[in-house]
Chain A
Amino acid sequence: GAGVSQTPSNKVTEKGKYVELRCDPISGHTALYWYRQSLGQGPEFLIYFQGTGAADDSGLPNDRFFAVRPEGSVSTLKIQRTERGDSAVYLCASSLGQYTGELFFGEGSRLTVL
């Protein structure tokens, strides 16, 4: 596609439920990042994929969060036993296989946990 695509754009769930957020990066971009942005704050790094493998998952807040990228393209961020504090916009970004500093962000998935 032309840009990074994220679905759903909005997700409302109840505390304790499981959610999946999907990211479809720009075709040919090998690097994929997940960030979380709460109101009034900058994006917070969660995880980075180089191809299919998670090269750095140091930002995942706890073991309820997990992300996969099985074929090196689409990625899914999975959150188990959601808590109200998980409410945020989850941003996905991809970049080319060379260092330019430019991350291409999707529009984000807004997660609300009631």
Chain B
Amino acid sequence: EDKVVQSPLSLVVHEGDTVTLNCSYEVTNFRSLLWYKQEKKAPTFLFMLTSSGIEKKSGRLSSILDKKELSSILNITATQTGDSAIYLCAGGTPISASYDKVIFGPGTSLSVIP
């Protein structure tokens, strides 16, 4: 059965800290690793990773995939209170050439305190 695991499940840090969120996956016919941010209700897309070792970066957020270890990390530097959210990791397995079935992990709940 396809599975995505995340750690830690929750984390409390102070503003300005750097955090690393971990994700490991066991997904049949794995094609992509996805990160989403869920602040209130609707998850919003952060990154898609398909190749090992290539870092994707957006502002203070960055992520990298290790296909050998079946894992990924999401780094957030100089955290701000607005980074408080649940960070969801997901594995994508093809349903068709253009679409994936996306399997989510439980999420890491990040709280950034002033």
Q: Which residues of A contact B (CB under 8 A)?
A: 4, 31, 33, 35, 40-45, 48, 50, 55-56, 89, 91, 95, 97-108
From B43-51, B60-68, B74-82, give the one contacting chain A: B43-51
Interface of B is mostly: strand
- B58 at interface by CB-CB < 8 Å: no
Contact A44 B43 (CB under 8 A): no
Q: A41-B106, A42-B106, A43-B104 are in contact. Are A103 and B45 (CB under 8 A)?
A: yes
Most A CB contacts (10 A, CB to CB) among B43, B99, B101, B104 go to B99
A45 to B95, CA, bound (A): 13
- How many residues on B have C-beta within 8 angstroms of the other chain's C-beta atoms? 26
Contact A105 B44 (CB under 8 A): yes
Contact B98 A102 (CB under 8 A): no
A100 to B84, CA, bound (A): 25
A31 to B102, CA, bound (A): 12
**A106: chain B residues within 8 A (beta carbon):** 42
**A56: chain B residues within 8 A (beta carbon):** 95, 101
A9 to chain B, nearest CB (A): 9
- B110 at interface by CB-CB < 8 Å: no
- B34 at interface by CB-CB < 8 Å: yes
Contact B41 A108 (CB under 8 A): yes
Q: A42-B88, A43-B88 are in contact. Are A103 and B41 (CB under 8 A)?
A: no
- B100 at interface by CB-CB < 8 Å: yes
- In the A-B complex, the 6 residue pairs with the smallest Cβ-Cβ separation, listed nearest first, are A101-B48, A42-B104, A105-B42, A102-B45, A107-B41, A43-B104
